[in-house]
Chains A and B, each alone.
Chain A
Amino acid sequence: MSLGILMLVHTDLDRAAQVARYWASNGNPVVFHVDRKVSTEDEKELRKAVSDLDNIRFSQREDCRWGTWSLVAATQSAAELMLGEFPTVRHVALTSGSCIPLRPVEELVDYLADHPRTDFIESVTVEDVPWTIGGLHHERFTLRFPFSWKTHRRSFDRFVRLQRRIGLKRRVPTGILPHLGSQWWCLTRDTLAAILSHPRRAEFDRYFKTVWIPDESYFQTLARLVAPRIESRTLTLAKFDLQGKPYVFYDDHLQLLRRSDCFIARKVWPQADRLYAAFLAPAARAPQKTEPNPQKIDRVFTSASERRTLGRPGLLMQSRFPQDSWQVIKTAAPYSVFQGFTELFEDFELWLSRRTGAQVHGHLFDWTRVQYAGGEKIIKGGLSDSVDIRDRNPTSFLTSLIWNTRGERQCFQYAPYDRQAINDLVIWDSNAQISVISGAWAIKLFRASMDFETKRKEAAWMQRVEDHFLERLRMRGLPARIRIWTLADFIDDPMEHLQGILDEIEPSAPRRLAEAPKMVDLAGFSVFLQQLKNAGMKPYLTGDFPAEVDPRAALRHNETKPYLVR
């Protein structure tokens, strides 16, 4: 009893010869189908290379094109030749020239001997197939495809659309239910013979000639009709990428392939010398009866596909540059933006970093210096504190900073008197936690030592800038987590508000706040606000601050009122 190998080859014939020699010299006959596109000299060379082996045959050559009937026709003639020439063959496997056996031949033969009446062919109903190219499921079987998808894509698409529009459909032959599956199967002699000598074969062939990609459906469908016991999986490990082309195995996959315990792998890079040497060497172990276990290899290829389609969120680089869209996550990790906190609390940065363990920067978007945590000149990733470099591309600056420090939460201060360069980035970023105490800039002015007229102007300007930012923050449906208080509301119950922010930063820390940051001395602040109002500038963003009458201040103010006509 032996296993017959059908081998469809069109390139790298020397490798195909090498593999065929391996099968044949271990007592398993091989039938080659050489694509007609291969030159006669190359074919002759192949024949010569295996001429010393008496169990190798060559079938009628077809001109094979991807996705067309020619591949099925080639398989049919090779299979007929196999069944006719080698009566001892009990199972027949369809392979390509770039397939390679991963386990000693005896193991595969033993395995098949243990399953003498089982057909290993992936065969899934159309509705359940996750892989499709060109978005065609059932239509593969109900439309006609006279144009090549590879070379005449436009005609292909147009003709599909035309058929859809005029509702042109054809009937699937009665008695069969279309199934799809991997092209690479291993069928029993009985099943294969039953398919090839089916009384309705002419009818089926006529139908499948205009089905799209019949090599993935002809045997898969007909096996369901004739086979007593189908095991819907393939013994050939073949993974396909997003473009529908098989993943290729290289030398560095050696261990991965060994551990997969699969019988045959497709496809191997022709120059993977180590793989060919390792797997075509005489068996170095006693035959084992392990089941194939391709999960590990699956994971490698799945993660490769994800890398290509999803990428790493928050990474901007030479081959990943997402368009500005709300669907794309903009940064690599959650971070916090605080506006108005350093004005209200004296030691806010220190307190926050102690309390959360996060890296707490000062005003990263200060006009004169990038205020990194600890006053550093350069931080992780080599980001410099140069304002010019930051302002050259603020978006890149912030995304790089978050990317470089992933694993360590970042917090930074923001204010209306900073460069307003990243507003659009943060409000549309689901990783951003933005907390604003509106009007807190007034405290900074209150405590600053400059003349009142300048303060008044600055206040008006800061209020305008902050108002603009708040207006954006109040838009509906922003992905960022946003908290806004007026200064008056915030100092009403600062502990409660701070707790809310910290809970979000560290959801797992149930501890209540024990130590609060030290609030600046606000004595005289409401008088200052009143002065601003009196000077014609209403600081409405601070909220309703309790009035505290300070007659002396009022008096002093009256003296300096700039526009008071005496």
Chain B
Amino acid sequence: MSLIGQYALRLQRKRLLWRAFRSRHVLRPVANRTRQIARGDILLFSTLRNEKVRLPYFFDYYRDLGVKHFLIVDNDSRDGSRKWLKQQPDCSVWTTKASYRRARFGVDWLNWLQTRYGNGHWTLVADVDEFLVFPFCDTRPLHALTDWMDASAIRALPAMLLDMYPKGPIDAQTYVEGQNPIEIASWFDSGNYAIEKNHRYQNLWIQGGPRARYFFGDQPHNAPALNKTPLVKWKRGYAYVESTHMVLPRGLNQVYDEQGGECISGVMLHTKFLNTFVEKSTEEIKRQQHYGRSREYKAYARQLETKQPDLWNTWSEKYINWRQLEILGLMSKGNWA
């Protein structure tokens, strides 16, 4: 890349950081327990809105993995999420009524919190419907992975979004608080992902899965991006560009091997397609706060009008464990053994 191009990226990063810095004004602390954060703690950052029903399991899952502190931005929840979060001893909460879209879908807020509290820590950014699976996660805690990545001079872990769905209509089974959502949404597409390289940011752009197949069959270029880099050894000056799809400086996006080898990677199990999805999409279309003016939700709505979608087909794979995902080629151990 030319020097000018590189400089443009630097300017863009500075601009993102400036936006993040300014967005701190809209974040009102509800509970700030960040003084508890100790050296070497793994931190989780998330933005949410009206997700009370999902929170207990989400917290349990990541506590189990070894996340030590949760830093959450509540975007004006009305369902008691805020109150619940406030009661968690290992959670700091900020709230805001500001526009999610204008905060570039929450990225500004989290960039700020990561800049402020994440420096020198391994930071994980996950939505409440995303569950990180990494090699050996059934026998080794997240700390084992981050220690190994530290020793291997790896700064970021790629973990693509893997859309999970139930068998049968999406709203046939009701998710109850505290339940493992994978019990309902336990199916996924194993091999229909298209990959391109984004030369500007050096990241891979992945599209596909059930969303592309079912909702975007006639406009695949609009299908949501699935590549993510959610786990980063954060340093002040880093900034996510678009959700966690890409990071700047762009060296952090080079998490893949181009000579034929495999780098280590994980998967984010994405459990969006529960019964809660149906009401959510109606609301999100009204709010128009999501990417591309909720383009994604509009595509869903078009399908939802006719019938309750059933994403399942005979070739759907039922989720078992990380080894299954490894064998299918969705993630890799790299040379971690």
Q: Residues of A at under 8 Å CB distance from B?
A: 241-243, 245, 247-248, 250-252, 269, 271, 300-301, 303-305, 307-313, 315-323, 327-329, 378-384, 386, 388-389, 392-393, 396-397, 400, 403-404
- Sample of 20 more A-B contacts, CB < 8 Å, known A242-B335, A248-B148: A247-B337, A252-B140, A311-B261, A313-B260, A317-B330, A318-B227, A318-B256, A319-B332, A319-B334, A320-B257, A321-B195, A321-B204, A321-B256, A322-B258, A382-B209, A383-B191, A384-B192, A388-B217, A389-B192, A396-B194
Q: Is B160 an interface residue (CB 8 A)?
A: yes
Partner of A317, one of B197, B220, B265: B265
Number of interchain pairs (Cβ within 8 Å): 180
CA distance A365 to B257 in the complex (A): 29
* B136: A residues at CB distance < 8 A: 250, 252
* Complex Cα–Cα for A163 and B204 (A): 42
A327–B216 Cα distance when bound, in Å, is 35
Task: Check if A318 sits within 8 Å of B265, measured CB to CB.
Answer: yes
Inter-chain contact A250/B152, CB cutoff 8 Å: no
Give chain B interface residues in 253-276, CB to chain A under 8 Å.
Answer: 255-265
**Interface membership of B193, Cβ < 8 A:** yes
- Complex Cα distance, B147 from A250, in Å, reads 12
CB distance from A11 to the nearest CB of B (A): 11
Residues of B in contact (CB 8 Å), total 62
Please tell me if the beta carbons of B258 and A250 are within 8 angstroms of each other in the complex: no
Chain B proximity of A373: nearest CB distance (Å):
13
Q: Can you list 8 A-B pairs, Cβ within 8 angstroms, ordered by A? A: A271-B144, A300-B337, A328-B259, A382-B191, A382-B192, A383-B192, A389-B213, A400-B194
What chain B residues lie within 8 Å of A320 (beta carbons)?
A: 256-257, 260-263, 332
Q: Which of B283-337 contact A (CB under 8 A)?
A: 313-316, 329-337
B260 CB contacts on chain A under 8 angstroms: 309-311, 313, 320, 322, 327-329
B64 within 8 A of A: no
Give A378 to B209 CA distance when docked, in angstroms: 12
A327 to B261, CA, bound (A): 13
CB-nearest residue of chain B to A386: B217
Cβ–Cβ contact A388 & B191, under 8 A: no
Report A325 CB to chain B, min CB distance, Å: 9
Given contacts A383-B192, A404-B190, contact A318 B206 (CB under 8 A): yes
Contact of A382 among B147, B152, B315, B334 (CB under 8 A): B315
| Cβ 8 A contact of B152, one of A245, A251, A309, A311 | A245
Query: Is A245 a contact partner of B160 (Cβ separation < 8 A)?
Result: no
* B196 lies within 8 A of chain A by Cβ: yes
The minimal Cβ–Cβ distance linking A20 to chain B, given in whole angstroms, is: 22
1/0 contact trace for B135-152 toward A, CB 8 Å? 010011101100110011
Our pick among B139, B196, B262 for the contact of A250 (Cβ within 8 Å) is B139
Name B316's closest neighbour in chain A (CB-CB): A382
Q: List chain A residues, Cβ under 8 A from B193.
A: 317, 396, 400
Complex: how many Å from CA A382 to CA B332?
Answer: 20
Smallest CB-CB separation from B219: which chain A residue? A388
